[in-house]
Amino acid sequence: MKNWLKKYPKIHRVFQRFYYQFVKRHIFAISGPLRSLPDFIIIGTARSGTTSLYYNICQHPCVFPAAYDELGFFDSNFHLGLNWYRSLFPTLFSKWIVKHNKKFAITGEDTPFYIWSPTVAKRILKILPNVKLIVLFRNPIDRAYSNYHLGVRAGSENLSFEDAIQVELNRLTNKIESENELEKYTTPRSYIAKGLYANQLKIWLELFNNEQLFIISTEDFESKPQETLDKIFDFLQIPKNHVVNPEKHKVASYPKMKSETRKFLVDFYKKPNAELFSMIGREFDWDK
């Protein structure tokens, strides 16, 4: 039936909206108008530990988690409608109870694919103009290598890391300016492009106030989890909370990168990283 519906896009979208709201979310969708929208969103970046960060934030007694992580509403699921999105968050009454007892109550989500999309940024600005945005940046070399091995595990990548990044670099070099800018982040084998953070962050700095953006590094979060979380809690304007057992999600092991490959990428990312550091007014220790 779904294959038949795809021949008729408008009917297919109506079917999807009905199915994902009232079949998949049932009572939660019915109560959608009585549910909260997020107070914060972790918008990036992929393979940087956003899921771990999100669930550690949600250990706070004043933070309600969404139904699951990586909701993707503002990009791939926008056609499902705002009521579907609301169905994934707590009721306003639940938040009121917690706020009454603890003085604070917030909710949020994480979708690390939001960061490179101007369309997503504009949608969020329109629907959630006062939302707080958290960006987690990982050393782009480690991010790329992790992303590559995700493809290997999924069976979608059969080249060596060196060959894969060379194919991508050739494509980026030959890219025609009039092409869709988003494609360099979403096309298969976009390991390098996703680490060009300054181009992505620029989208958000042009639309949102600096006070709405909080930027941290994966390396700081891993080495100083409680200190990093305390800073995030301050940003979210909720009391500090001791996280007893910091959670780690989607952790994988793989062989160490070849030293000559790493050296090449350190040199490659020097200029893009410098541009990012200039934008945010501080540096991360990524030249190694």
Tell me if 251 is assigned to some domain: yes
Tell me if 250 is assigned to some domain: yes
Mean pLDDT across 100-106: 97
Tell me if 70 is assigned to some domain: yes
Tell me if 107 is assigned to some domain: yes
Tell me if 19 is assigned to some domain: no
- Would you state the pLDDT for residue 178? 40
Q: What is the pLDDT of residues 241-273, one digit of tens each?
A: 998 777 777 777 899 999 999 999 999 999 999
Tell me if 155 is assigned to some domain: yes
Tell me if 75 is assigned to some domain: yes
User: Where is pLDDT greater, at 178 or 249?
Assistant: 249
Categorize the per-residue pLDDT at 180 as very low, low, confident or very high, splitting at 50, 70 and 90. Answer: low
Compute the CA torsion angle 34, 123, 120, 111 (nearest 10 deg).
-20
- Lowest mean pLDDT: which of 3-17, 81-95, 106-120? 3-17
Mean pLDDT of the chain: 91
- Would you state the pLDDT for residue 1? 46
- Would you state the pLDDT for residue 264? 97
Residue 5 has pLDDT above 50, yes or no: no
- Tally Cβ neighbours within 10 Å of residue 9: 10
Residue 134 has pLDDT above 80, yes or no: yes
Residues 216, 231 contacting (CB under 8 angstroms): yes
Residue 177 has pLDDT above 50, yes or no: no
User: Where is pLDDT greater, at 224 or 20?
Assistant: 224
Residue 171 has pLDDT above 80, yes or no: yes
Residue 32 has pLDDT above 60, yes or no: yes
- Would you state the pLDDT for residue 86? 96
Tell me if 2 is assigned to some domain: no
Mean pLDDT across 226-254: 89
Compute the half-sphere exposure of residue 89: CA atoms within 13 Å on the CB side of its CA.
27
Mean pLDDT across 149-172: 95
Q: What is the pLDDT of residues 65-101, one digit of tens each?
A: 999 999 999 999 999 999 999 999 999 999 999 999 9
User: Where is pLDDT greater, at 81 or 10?
Assistant: 81
- Would you state the pLDDT for residue 235? 98
Model pTM?
0.90
36, 153, 197, 198 from 135: Cα distances, Å: 22, 26, 10, 12
User: Where is pLDDT greater, at 63 or 171?
Assistant: 63
Compute the CA torsion angle 142, 145, 150, 153 (nearest 10 deg).
-130
Share of the chain above pLDDT 90, in %: 78
User: Where is pLDDT greater, at 267 or 179?
Assistant: 267
Residues 155, 261 contacting (CB under 8 angstroms): no
How many folded domains does the chain comprise?
1
- Would you state the pLDDT for residue 288? 66
Domain, as residue range, for 179? 31-280
Please give the single-letter amino acid code of residue 69: D
Q: What SS3 class is residue 35? A: strand
- Would you state the pLDDT for residue 30? 85
> Which CATH number covers residue 126?
3.40.50.300
Categorize the per-residue pLDDT at 14 as very low, low, confident or very high, splitting at 50, 70 and 90. Answer: low
Q: Which two tokens stand for residue 153?
A: 């595990």
Residue 54 has pLDDT above 60, yes or no: yes
- Would you state the pLDDT for residue 22? 59
